[in-house]
Amino acid sequence: MMNGAQAVLESLKKEGVDVVFGYPGGAVLTLYDAVYKMKFPHVLTRHEQGAVHAADGYARATGKVGVVFATSGPGATNLITGIATACTDSVPLVCITGQVANPYIGKDSFQEADVFGITTPITKHNYLVKDVRELPRVIKEAFFIARTGRPGPVVIDVAKDVFDTKFDYAYPESVHLRGYSGEYIGDEAEIDAVVEAINHASRPMLFVGGGVIGANVSETMRSIVSRLGAPVTTTLLGLGAVAADTKGFLGFAGMHGSYAANMTIQECDLLLCIGMRFSDRVTGVVSGFAPKAKIVHFELDEAEVNKNVAADYRVLGDLRWSLPLLQAKLEQSGRAYAAENESWLEKAIDRSKEHPFSYQPDGDAIKPGALIRKISELSDEDTIAVTDVGQHQMWAAQFFDVYKPRHFLTSGGQGTMGYGLPAAMGAKIGQPDSKVVLFTGDGSIMMNCQEFATIADNDIDVKVIIIHNCILGMVGQWQRLFYNNHYSQSELKGKTDFVKMAEAFGLRGYRLTRKEELETELPKIMQTAGPALVDVWVPEDEDVLPMVPGGKRLDQMVLGGNK
């Protein structure tokens, strides 16, 4: 016999959960009493949004399910942004929230909110538990749903009296869900058709998305890339699925992607798109996307096929099934694909050399590209880069070399400012042996800066690089380029002293203002153990280039100072 709160923690143990992120409150006090008594590993963040983003960062960095606790009403609704972020980017989370007790549900009680209704559109599944006997089954199902198929967040809203009620606990050994098995074995004939298309292509290209990383099939993907010897690009969330030094890797594609990647997409005759959803940030105007190519779409979620871009060939199924089978069939063909594609590959590589990501030096000013490139040079292949959202996010994607999957964490689909600091915390907790560096801006960092207290109290070794340009950078760039320099409510006065803020939270703070400090000071900072904030001043009017303007094709990108 045990109460519902104890049952929750016992169930988490059985699911292999080694840490929970959360924030207590009235409806979950019994749950937190169980945390105390059972000494369950828990990280107290300073805001529920910090907790859910930390769980997200933990999940992305480890491949495990991230877990978060929050109380009822505002505690639960503070999770909404993080749940939506995880849902769009297919991140496995289980969020356990308190609800008012059964007799008070539906009566506008203190700290009551319809969490089930609110989270329905932004979760893979959700539950309202009103009977303690349902808890073990629901938790077992929640973890199964979150981690299988296309991963995603699951919310379990638990009535307060359920935590208090004792019952005869038993954890189910298996899950039985009507209409959902979690297995997606597709039609092998679809892969045969793709192999035939590859055999007839003269200019094939691979386009790799975050689904490859989520399915843990990056090594298989790399073998296929090597076998084909074709140019390869990734989405923003796909960075790391293919190592940065892979021959023919063109960087990421899309609105701020590389010239070589975008132009090669427009020139190829077969585009193999694997584990991606054709975001508008990737395609440019859809009618002009890859106009010379047959499109192949390897996808787990049938709803994504033909949603944005029409596919000539689809392979519907789990990449853990489809990619090894594709690899085997390519090997069995006996064809020397790499030799056949050599001249096409070299043409793509030449494009990279002609128009690399670059920046224009400006006296003694620190250019963001120079800063991030230097940090990349100072990092090892196990370093995990995390970003917030904005210009710094794009510069990080352009100039930080990623060699391994789960080593570039960013909010892709939602573009969530405030994601970075808590996500970096979660990544470091999940991967304590890896260095973790956060790239953020003077706008984004203020969204969840309270988590510096969590970092300091728990001595979480994250290096926070603030690219300080005194403006909401991406907003300002669009206002500069498309709104006649009308900087409406985007300029920051630069009076926030981030070094003093770091010191107030108990962290070391540094400020860099001259490019020579990238050589004299930055290496020492990055090599010093322990968390630190580095406030780096950069020019306000620096644009992220290249750029594909809205409504334009990928080959209509603005190169500007990047040549």
Is residue 493 flagged as an active site residue? no
Domain boundary among 354, 376, 401: 354
Find out whether 422 and 51 touch, Cβ atoms under 8 Å.
yes
Beta strands in 119-264 (DSSP E): 125-129, 153-159, 166-167, 204-208, 232-234, 249-252
Catalytic residue among 49, 111, 391, 398: 111
Domain boundary among 167, 202, 220: 167
Residue 311 lies in a domain: yes
Total domain count for the chain? 3
Is pLDDT of 109 > 70?
Answer: yes
Sign of CA dihedral 301, 151, 448, 513: negative
d(CA 499, CA 535): 7
d(CA 224, CA 317): 18
Q: What is the pLDDT of residue 183?
A: 85
Q: How far are the Cα atoms of 337, 419, 467, 488, 501 from residue 446, in angstroms, in the given order?
A: 50, 11, 13, 19, 11
Q: What is the mean pLDDT of residues 466-478?
A: 97
Tell which residue, 197, 201, 217, 228, has the closest CA to residue 297.
197
Residues 438 and 505 in one domain: yes
Tell me: the pLDDT tens digits for 237-293? 999 999 999 999 999 999 999 999 999 999 999 999 999 999 999 999 999 999 999
Cis peptide before 546 (omega within 30 of 0): yes
Q: What token pair was written down for 30?
A: 């019994």
**Domain with 7 in it: what CATH number?**
3.40.50.970
The rounded mean pLDDT for the chain is 97
Residues 267 and 196 in one domain: yes
- In our burial notation (b when 16+ CB lie closer than 10 A, e otherwise), range 117-152 reads ebbeebbbbbbbbeebebbbbbbbbbbbbbbbbbbb
Q: What token pair was written down for 271?
A: 């585009």
Is residue 474 flagged as an active site residue? yes
Tell which residue, 26, 28, 21, has the closest CA to residue 4.
28
Q: DSSP letter at 91?
A: -
Tell me: the pLDDT tens digits for 297-338? 999 999 999 999 999 999 999 999 999 999 999 999 999 999
Residue 511 pLDDT class (50, 70, 90 cuts): very high
Residue 20 lies in a domain: yes
Q: What is the mean pLDDT of residues 458-473?
A: 98
Q: What token pair was written down for 261?
A: 């990647």
Q: What is the pLDDT of residue 563?
A: 33
The boundaries of the domain holding residue 76 are 2-167
Q: What is the pLDDT of residue 419?
A: 98
Residues 242 and 156 in one domain: no
Q: What is the pLDDT of residue 561?
A: 57
Residues 374 and 327 in one domain: no
Bridge partners of residue 205, in order along the sequence: 271
Residue 364 pLDDT class (50, 70, 90 cuts): very high
Residues 481 and 426 in one domain: yes
| pLDDT > 70 fraction of the chain, expressed in percent and rounded | 99
Residue 64 lies in a domain: yes
Catalytic residue among 48, 112, 304, 542: 48
d(CA 263, CA 246): 19
Tell me: the pLDDT tens digits for 202-229? 999 999 999 999 999 999 999 999 999 9
| Model confidence, pTM | 0.97
Catalytic residue among 221, 394, 447, 474: 474
CB-count burial class (<10 Å; 0-12, 13-18, 19+) for 535 = buried
Residues 212 and 319 in one domain: yes
Residue 310 lies in a domain: yes
Residue 360 lies in a domain: no
> Is residue 111 classed as helix, strand or coil in its secondary structure?
coil
Is residue 110 flagged as an active site residue? yes
Q: What is the pLDDT of residue 562?
A: 40
Q: What is the mean pLDDT of residues 105-110?
A: 97
Is residue 357 flagged as an active site residue? no
Q: What is the mean pLDDT of residues 410-432?
A: 98
**Domain with 330 in it: what CATH number?**
3.40.50.1220
Catalytic residue among 6, 69, 124, 160: 160
Q: DSSP letter at 467?
A: E
Residues 12 and 62 in one domain: yes
Catalytic residue among 38, 110, 360, 482: 110
CB-count burial class (<10 Å; 0-12, 13-18, 19+) for 491 = middle
Is residue 48 flagged as an active site residue? yes
Residues 69 and 47 in one domain: yes
Q: What token pair was written down for 549?
A: 């303007």
